[in-house]
Amino acid sequence: MDELIQITLLSLGVSGIATAISLLIGLPLGTVLALSVFRSRGLVLSVVNTGMALPPVVAGLAIALLLWRSGPLGDLNMIYTPSAIILAEVVIATPVILGLSAAGIGQLDPRLQVQLQGLGASRMQTVFWLWREARLSLLAALMAGFGSVISEVGAAMMVGGNISGQTRVLTTAMVLDVGRGNFGSAIQLAGILLALAFLVNGILTWAQQSGKRH
């Protein structure tokens, strides 16, 4: 039971931290991408959209090569640690949040920005009000980002190593149990994973619907 609680808390912790970091990176970049007009904008959007469909194992391989002892960041000794899993999940979730944020803000009436600036709003005030108007889309982006990492297994296995008591999360523990034929335990882990995803997304959906009513 203690190990199950530890695995659950670690899963929620690394996914929550990775989603938060991805939001801090993806939301500002998505805002800039949505509001800017430049020659290579289409190319940047294509790269972001490709990143949204990036296979998690590819992200895991890239981070593993960077953090491996003979890699460029090997001296950090991050491989097979929760930090490595968080880094891999940030790579997975950031394009999702960035792309959906840019799409949500880009769908706003362009006259709104002009109107806000005409009323004397500063750049930061303008961005804040645009975020407020696009809050339903931004919450959807946050849910998609969290969903992309809480259920991830390939990258977590590659960079975390599935070490008991250290880097074993719900998804990698499920893979291990299935490999051992412990299907009862795997089903229990799957139930916990689904409950966590439902709880977090339920809270975000409630916030989204509350914003819609107001």
Question: What would the mean pLDDT of 108-135 be, rounded to a whole number?
Answer: 86
- 212 pLDDT band, cuts 50/70/90, is low
User: So what's the pLDDT on residue 38?
Assistant: 85
pTM for the model? 0.91
Give the Cα separation of 95 and 26 in Å (integer). Answer: 7
CATH code at 75?
1.10.3720.10
Q: Taking 80 as the threshold, does the pLDDT of residue 209 lie above it?
A: no
Q: Taking 70 as the threshold, does the pLDDT of residue 214 lie above it?
A: no
What's the number of domains the chain is made of?
1
To the nearest whole number, what is the mean pLDDT of the chain? 91
> pLDDT (tens digit, 9 = 90+) per residue, 148-206?
999 999 999 999 999 998 999 999 999 999 999 999 999 999 999 999 889 988 888 88
> pLDDT (tens digit, 9 = 90+) per residue, 69-109?
888 999 999 999 999 999 999 999 999 999 999 999 999 88
Closest CA to 13 of 140, 150, 124: 150
Write the burial class of residue 43 (CB in 10 Å: 0-12 exposed, 13-18 middle, 19+ buried).
Answer: exposed
Write the burial class of residue 88 (CB in 10 Å: 0-12 exposed, 13-18 middle, 19+ buried).
Answer: buried
- Comparing 149 with 112, the larger pLDDT belongs to 149
- 115 pLDDT band, cuts 50/70/90, is confident
> pLDDT (tens digit, 9 = 90+) per residue, 14-39?
999 999 999 999 999 999 999 888 88
Give the Cα separation of 163 and 141 in Å (integer). Answer: 31
- Comparing 117 with 164, the larger pLDDT belongs to 164
User: So what's the pLDDT on residue 102?
Assistant: 94
Q: Taking 60 as the threshold, does the pLDDT of residue 147 lie above it?
A: yes
- 213 pLDDT band, cuts 50/70/90, is low
Q: Can you give the residue range of the structural domain that contains 99?
A: 2-213
Q: What is the DSSP annotation of the chain?
A: -HHHHHHHHHHHHHHHHHHHHHHHHHHHHHHHHHH---TTHHHHHHHHHHHHT--HHHHHHHHHHHHSTTSTTGGG--TTSHHHHHHHHHHHHHHHHHHHHHHHHHTS-HHHHHHHHHTT--HHHHHHHHHHHTHHHHHHHHHHHHHHHHT--HHHHHHHTT-TTTT--HHHHHHHHHHHT-HHHHHHHHHHHHHHHHHHHHHHHHHHHHHHH-
